[in-house]
Structure 1
Amino acid sequence: MARRCDVCGKGPLSGNLISHAHNVSRRKFYPNLHSVKTVEADGTVVRKKVCAKCLKAGKVKKA
């Protein structure tokens, strides 16, 4: 299961987890994805994984 937005293509980013003692280890930042039923241009209903930014911007039409 890919952690990627079906609308804008936003995916996971990598970064560092830094403790108070400055011990550094790698970590991932995942997008805020939601599984939403959307209406396509031809009228069919499809379930997509959409990030919260696309939902707020109104880039998808919910069924």
Structure 2
Amino acid sequence: MSQVCEICGKHPVAGRSISHSHRVTNRTFRPNIQKVSVVVDGKSRKMNVCTSCMKAGKVVRG
């Protein structure tokens, strides 16, 4: 499944994980993407949407 929100465009970003002993390793921060059915132009369609968009009410579930 695609890791990009079709509403806001949120996508995975790279960062670093730092342990207690300060060893640094690369990691990826992934958004919480869910496949939900959304009403677009009066028709129901499945979209990949992040949970922050769903919580903010940017999506009309259908």
If the length of structure 2 is used for normalisation, what is the TM-score?
Answer: 0.91
Summarize deviations over 1:23-43 as a string: whole Å, max 9, x none.
Answer: 1010000001111100111x2
Map 1:1-63; keep pairs closer than 5 Å.
Answer: 1-41=1-41, 43-63=42-62
Structure 1: which 5+ runs fail to align?
none
What SS does structure 1 have at the residue aligned with 2:37?
strand
In 1: Cα distance, 2:49 partner to 2:23 partner: 34
Give the partner amino acid of 1:53. S
Q: RMSD of aligned C-alpha atoms? A: 0.9
Deviations, residues 4-52 of structure 1 (Å, cap 9, x unaligned): 00100000111101111111010000001111100111x2111111111
TM-score, structure 1 as length reference: 0.90
SS across alignment from 1:39: strand
User: Structure 2 stretches of 5 or more lacking a match?
Assistant: none
Show structure 1 runs of 4+ deviating over 2 A: none
Identity of aligned residues (%): 44
